[in-house]
Copies of this chain bind each other. A is one copy, B any other.
Amino acid sequence: MIDRAAEAVETTMSEDDVGAFVPGQRFRVEGRAGGPLAGLTFAAKDLFDVAGRPTGAGNPDWERVHPVPTRHAWAVQRLLDAGAALVGKTITDKVSLGIFGENAFYGTPRNVRAPDRVPGGSSSGSAAAVAAGLCDTALGTDTGGSVRVPASFCGLYGIRPTHGRLDLSGMVSQAPSSDTTGWFARDADTFARVSSVMLCEDIPRELPRRLIVATDAFAFADPPVAAALQPMVEQLGALTGWVGDAVLAPPGLTVWAGAQRILQPYEAWQTFRDWADRANPRFAFNVARQLAQAAAITESDLDPAREVREAARAHMHELLSPGTVLCLLTTPFPAPLRGQPWSILDPLRARITGLTVVGGLTGSPQITIPGAKVDELPIGLSIVGRAGSDVTLVALARAWATQ
């Protein structure tokens, strides 16, 4: 099957050069014989438990104080049961905090599609490994963009499923109201096969009948990005048969992002505060600063943010009637250069999360599709559906890729 977005893996980099795997965590666990994913390989972000191996969570002071798990995370077990072979654990930003994929402890995985650029994070190693052809698919987590952003930067298919749909047992939590398990693939067919297994649902032939272009989201894009994505928007529109436009966030995406910048860090601090207290873990300064700011959020800050979230969820439910899909850019620009000061990266991060907020705040499923480039750098287009419509999105992505 021809895939219009899947690129051949062309790299002269060795696996060591890519640096996607946690040092010492390259191994092989065979999947069940004869399953639907037999013959495929996968990697798991180091936030997922693999029995008998430490869960590192991107921070040496996590591993130091947490016991080695005795059973696989649900997502790992699901893929093994379906026949895929697990080939290692991949590097993640520190306890999933980080959107660029630069890790001071384990190194920054190399983005083979843009070697001088960051891979995106926090599921940086999973994206880098799939992009480099070191495995067919890989598990990531997405709380605030951690699958969607590296998928966009590395030119991959990636999904953030409907919040609450998958069993997250054995996955290190960050902010439970927004945490999801996602995955990557280089081509739409593999992506659909893995998605069907993970979502426990067949991918339908039927496609959504309406495509809504989110005008306010496209206003976030660098102009060449919007132009590069335009052909894909038109192709998706042709597949659905009807194209309209709408405002994604009536109060403004910055209002949504502002609410999520209270809700998500507040929960993250609840998740990590006891560990931070007992282990006094080392963090890169910008990560520690996020957590320190999170620690200063009070209960009274939450109510207005929760009101914004409720309104956002109601709006998405109304906008996305069954058969309707929303289209927006995944990231406002391609991957930034590696090794930049955070005084440069912080404003970029704010622009990215201004777009990725839709997933964490509303719980809607989102798929990012590769296929566009700006200055030879990959950039993804996203489709979002109403809660529970994950397989419809997968169907549309596959139809687009293989038509």
**Chain A contact residues, CB within 8 Å of chain B:** 61, 102, 104-105, 276-278, 280-286, 288-289, 291-293, 295, 341-343
Given known pairs A285-B288, A289-B288, the reply for A104 and B280 (CB within 8 Å) is yes
- Which listed residue, B282, B284, B343, touches A104 by the CB 8 Å rule? B282
Verify A281–B291 contact, CB threshold 8 A.
no
Q: Which residues of B contact A102 (CB under 8 A)?
A: 280
**Which 6 A-B pairs have CB atoms at the shortest separation, nearest pair first?**
A288-B288, A292-B292, A289-B292, A277-B341, A282-B282, A277-B343
A341 to B275, CA, bound (A): 9
A174 to chain B, nearest CB (A): 16
Q: How far is the CA of A34 from the CA of B282 in the complex (A)?
A: 46
Contact of A280 among B277, B282, B286, B292 (CB under 8 A): B286
For A288, what are the chain B residues with a Cβ–Cβ distance below 8 Å? Answer: 283, 285, 288-289, 292
- Residues of B contacting A289 with CB < 8 Å? 288, 291-292, 295
**14 other A-B residue contacts (CB within 8 Å) besides A285-B288, A289-B291:** A61-B104, A104-B281, A105-B282, A276-B285, A280-B285, A280-B342, A281-B285, A282-B283, A282-B284, A283-B283, A285-B291, A289-B292, A289-B295, A292-B292
Contacts of A295 in B (CB 8 A): 289
Residues of the B chain whose Cβ atoms lie less than 8 Å from the Cβ of A343: 277
A289 (CB) vs chain B CBs: closest residue: B292
Docked pose: A291 CA to B277 CA in angstroms: 17
A61 to B, closest residue via Cβ: B104
Chain B residue contacts of A104, Cβ below 8 A:
61, 280-282
From A94, which residue of chain B is reached at the shortest CB distance? B282
Q: Hey, which chain B residues are within 8 Å of A284, CB to CB?
A: 280-282
Q: How far is the CB of A322 from chain B (nearest CB, A)?
A: 46
CB nearest neighbor in B for A295? B289
What are 28 pairs between A and B in contact, CB < 8 Å?
A102-B280, A104-B281, A105-B282, A276-B285, A277-B341, A277-B342, A277-B343, A278-B341, A280-B284, A280-B285, A280-B286, A280-B342, A281-B284, A281-B285, A282-B282, A282-B283, A282-B284, A282-B285, A283-B283, A283-B285, A283-B288, A285-B288, A285-B292, A288-B288, A288-B289, A288-B292, A292-B292, A292-B293
Q: Which of A104, A277, A280, A283 has the most CB of B within 10 A?
A: A280
Per the bound structure, the CA–CA distance linking A85 and B55 in Å amounts to: 47
Rounded to whole angstroms, the CA-CA distance of A105 and B282 in the bound complex is 9
CA distance A61 to B343 in the complex (A): 17
Q: How far is the CB of A57 from chain B (nearest CB, A)?
A: 14
- Chain B residues lying within 8 Å of A342, measured Cβ to Cβ, are 277, 280
Closest CB in chain B relative to A167 CB, distance in Å: 31
Neighbouring B residues of A277 by C-beta, 8 Å: 341-343
Q: How far is the CB of A273 from chain B (nearest CB, A)?
A: 9
A24 to B61, CA, bound (A): 24
Please name the residue on chain B nearest to A272 by beta carbon: B285
Q: Nearest-CB distance from A26 to chain B (Å)?
A: 25
Residues on B with C-beta less than 8 A from A276 are 285
Report Cα–Cα, A276/B282, bound state, in Å. 14
Expressed in whole angstroms, the Cα–Cα distance for A278 and B284 within the complex equals 11
- Bound-state CA distance A295–B289 (Å) is 9
